[in-house]
Structure 1
Amino acid sequence: MPLFRRRRSATPVPAPGPTPPPPSRRSTEELAAAEAHLSDFARSRPGVEAFIEPRTAVTDTTVVFVAASGEWTRRRVRSPQQAHALARALGVPAYDAGVVGYPQRMREWTRRRAEEDKRRLDGG
């Protein structure tokens, strides 16, 4: 009799497979409001581009709209396909943020806003 023998389970263990994505915490109304906000942003500012961010363990798929001035807004969307469809419908070029990164004008606008906020808080 072998000293170290494995016992076989009576019930088979299912083979590991892809886990389904967790159900979205966002309601249809919230997603519609996000889409309306993005549409308003794109229509009211020149030179808007879309940067699509993939779903992570922490956040759903998001899209960042960046105007020519560097002003930007981020909203959650249903999927990358929906973000591309929205960008196409608005005539906005769409890019994968993980591949191309973000434009420098976005970082500069954020930096300027932080400086303005700091001056305002310092009383100047």
Structure 2
Amino acid sequence: MGWFRRRGSGPSGDRPANPSDLQHLEQFVRSRRGVEAFIEPRTTVTGTTVILIAYDGEWTRRNMPSPGAVRQFAQRLAMPVYDVQLVGYPQRMRDYNARQKRT
């Protein structure tokens, strides 16, 4: 029966960051204060992603080719980078999401 056979070579979201994704991320960093990068690991459903979180908790997420690519991106823009599996998501992000639900 092949119910559990995998199709393709990787997760459905596993693709390199395209130029428009990188442009969006750079614009987010340049237009907000206190932005930090958080590496989200590859899963069976998605590839590696980066989530950028500003000082007020506003955030954005995009696919990246690898954790190393996230680190290089963060270094180029001089921002801190964390592994979400080690540090979790910051409270300010949860607070921001709660504020957005109320509006």
Equivalent pairs counted in the alignment come to: 94
% of aligned pairs identical?
Answer: 49
Q: Among residues 77, 86, 94, which one is paired with 1:99 in the alignment?
A: 86
Alignment of 1:1-124 (within 5 A): 22=10, 26=15, 31-116=18-103
Task: Please say if residues 52 and 62 of structure 1, whose CA atoms lie closer than 8 Å, have aligned partners that are also in contact.
Answer: yes
Cα RMSD for the two superposed structures: 1.7
Higher relative contact order (CA 8 A, sep 6+): 2
Deviations 1:31-87 (A, max 9, x none): 221111111100110000000001010001000000001100011111110011000
User: SS of the counterpart of 1:108?
Assistant: helix
TM norm structure 2: 0.84
1:25 shift after superposition: 5.7
> 4+ runs of 1 displaced by more than 2 Å?
21-26
Structure 1 residue ranges without an equivalent (≥5): 1-20, 117-124
